[in-house]
A and B are shown apart, each in its own frame.
Chain A
Amino acid sequence: MTSLAAYILRRLILLIFVILGVTVLVFAITMLFSPDVRAIMYVRNADQLKPEAIPLIIQKYGLNDPFYVQYGRWLTQVLQGNLGWSVSAPGPVLSVIASRWPYTFEIVLFAAPLIVFIGIYLGVQSAIHRNGLIDHTCRVLSIVGWSLPSFWLGLLLLAVFAGELKWFSPGALSQNWINFMHAGVLTGTYHRYTGIDIFDGLLNGQAGLSVDALSHVVLPVIVIVTIDIALLIRVMRSSMLETLTKPYITTAKAKGLSKSVVIYKHARRNALIPVATLSGLMVAGLLGGLVITETVFAFGGLGNWAAQAALQTDIPGVLGYTILSAFLFVIANLIVDVLYAYIDPRIRLE
């Protein structure tokens, strides 16, 4: 087994433990609520609940049993796909996730690569033209960008581009296209192959729908990219500056390699190493930031749902999103670690 494969295996095993721990923590948070409050979760329509019914529910679902018993019960349910009923959606948590993830995905699809590639590029440029115009501009923009509250930036962009200029509008899709899509699904002329509007539009031959979906993604992506890119640029810059002082760069120059080869082949790859560890943090920032951004733009994705759930004290909803985010985060970290091990062969021995 190559050293890379062995490393991946080790990380996978660790991942299982962490996910288990995550489930324990999430469940522990559930248990912070008293049995009475938790009993309400088992009822679809909370208004129709009579107070006398509560002890019966507690009895029926064993809400006073010891922690580990309830945890075991809960875990088996989760593994079977039953994450509870979200009153804010409303609907079973799993199907809410299934129906809402495409919208979140649309944003992430564009935001993530933009952040990574633009961030790395600007970071490298800042380093090689140290104290030049690009460096100072990036530095100022980074600091401002990171200080902006995401919801404020979103509101501002909405005010300018949607309010004044009327180029964009909030939401994931314009009303007329939404109507079109619903009518099409009902009559069977429109098929939601992937669930992602941008792709479905093209697959159904409705380019207009795709373009409209795309235009709605622009502003949220701008908000997310502006705020998350700052840290990446700073770290890339300092890492690059440090790498350029390393001895092996002198060797590369002494071999007669051109400047661009020295910078982009030798320096940058080494400089990316600390940046890779940062990406894990960035994914966290992305998942958290989505909650706010989707709320501001009324986007109808997972983040929006989480905010609503939190407001309505919809416990299964909030915890469903929490578990999902933790899960995604852990997997994203695994991918980052593997990439890291690919870039830097020394890591594979750990």
Chain B
Amino acid sequence: MSERSRFDEFKAGMRPRLKEWRFMLKRMRESRLALAGIIIVLIFVGIAVFAPLLAPPHGDPFSVPQDMEILVIQTSPTPPSTRHIFGTTDQQYDLYYACIWGSITAFRTGLTVVAFSLIVGLTIGTLAAMYGGLLDEALMRFTDIIIAFPGLILAMALVIALPGIFAINLSLVFLLVLVVASFLLLIFHFDKKILLIVQLLLLLSLLSILFFPVQMNLSLTRLDKVLLSIALVGWPGYTRVIRGEVMRVKNEDFVEAARASGSSDFRIIVKHIWPNTIYPILIVATLDIGSIVLTAAAMSFIGLGADPNFADWGQIIQRARNWISNVDLIVANLHAFLIPGIFITFFVMGWNLLGDALRDVLDPMLRRR
């Protein structure tokens, strides 16, 4: 057995990234809980995708229909019947419709907020970790302050404080974007010519703000406000985690080696640092989707959430508050909150199982490294 062939053999067996993925999938298939999680999430995806078929909308799809015929007789909830599969809740909103279309709302809630937090967190966290200094310090103090608030409470405060209509100064936005862009360009050592053009545009927009401001009105639905609040409260958490991970990785030898071979910062971040930090963040994000949906539902329950007839699980349970003080009514109208609650629980559980399974699978992998 010559030395040469052993090396070839070794190299052939390598293909590390593919092997790791296959190994990960295999481990996940073996875990029953992971499978359960995947199945649950897929079921909800199915419900969301086929919502128009499962519960055909009339008009605005996210407006839960009220049974007008029964409404004239009574406003209190009716139990499940052939007319309404899950029954109706206060003011005769159809529970079945709300639950089906609520799935879409749930996905929308979870995914948009997580996406926002991830993008902001990745950008700011990476920049702060890589370039340290005053920016890093200031960022840490700022996130410290935001994290000092229990999430739900700060989100509540923001929801009532955020105006429904934003008058956005477009020039200002443009200005901000350009500032950030020039900052990034400086860091990533891009072409000087491009930098010059950007700085010229900066000057122009500065002038325009002073003399010809361009306004725009942006209106937010109540649900949007909730999502925005949760996102604003959540991004510091992601930023800190990502910053921590990047700081851990950036001192590793392979980053040093990449720098020595002349890679630009941008390349180092994208090709070396992010792939090595992404796994813990992925786990946090998956688990967070459930948490976000729960928070949004909680806010809806308090009454701060979506509009009264919006198809949202938390919102439909909020209707229950009308008779909550009377215990007998709670029993009588059990279906009105039991069924949407089951939807929420399973949705969150699916994502939790998934995140948990991911964590179990990736943890030994991380350690094998």
Judge if A33 is at the interface, Cβ distance under 8 Å.
yes
**Cβ B150 vs Cβ A295 within 8 A:** no
Against A, the Cβ 8 Å flags (1 = close, 0 = not) of B161-194 are 1110000000000000000000000000000000
In the assembled complex, the Cα of A307 lies from the Cα of B330 at a distance in Å of 20
A152 → chain B, closest Cβ, in Å? Answer: 4
A232 → chain B, closest Cβ, in Å? Answer: 15
Chain B residues in 8 Å Cβ range of A150: 294, 298
Binds B, one of A77-85, A267-275, A320-328: A320-328
Tell me whether A329 and B149 are in contact in the complex, defined as CB-CB below 8 angstroms, given that A149-B298, A310-B156 are known contacts: yes
**Cβ B328 vs Cβ A318 within 8 A:** no
In the assembled complex, the Cα of A157 lies from the Cα of B181 at a distance in Å of 54
Which residue in chain A gives the minimum CB-CB distance to B348? A147
Which residue in chain A gives the minimum CB-CB distance to B302? A307
Question: Which of A144, A158, A306 is the one whose CB lies under 8 Å from B349?
Answer: A144
Tell me whether A325 and B345 are in contact in the complex, defined as CB-CB below 8 angstroms, given that A155-B320, A291-B302 are known contacts: no
Chain B residues in 8 Å Cβ range of A307: 302-303
Question: Which of B156, B298, B324, B345 is the one whose CB lies under 8 Å from A147?
Answer: B345
Count contacts on B: residues with CB < 8 A to the other chain.
51
Question: Which of A21, A315, A330 is the one whose CB lies under 8 Å from B160?
Answer: A315
Judge if A17 is at the interface, Cβ distance under 8 Å.
yes
**Cβ A330 vs Cβ B141 within 8 A:** no
| Residues of chain A in range 277-311 having any CB-CB distance to chain B below 8 Å | 283-289, 291-292, 295-296, 298, 306-307, 310-311
**Cβ A291 vs Cβ B317 within 8 A:** no
Chain A residues in 8 Å Cβ range of B320: 155
Interface residues on A, range: 35 or more
Chain A residues in 8 Å Cβ range of B151: 284, 288
**Cβ B160 vs Cβ A313 within 8 A:** yes
**Cβ B330 vs Cβ A298 within 8 A:** no
**Cβ A146 vs Cβ B161 within 8 A:** no
B291 → chain A, closest Cβ, in Å? Answer: 9
Q: Which residues of B does A touch, CB under 8 Å?
A: 33, 141-142, 144-146, 148-154, 156-163, 290, 294, 297-298, 301-304, 314, 317, 320, 324-325, 327-328, 330-331, 334, 337-338, 341, 344-346, 348-349, 352-353, 356, 363
Q: Which 4 A-B pairs have the closest CB atoms?
A: A288-B152, A163-B331, A152-B341, A21-B145
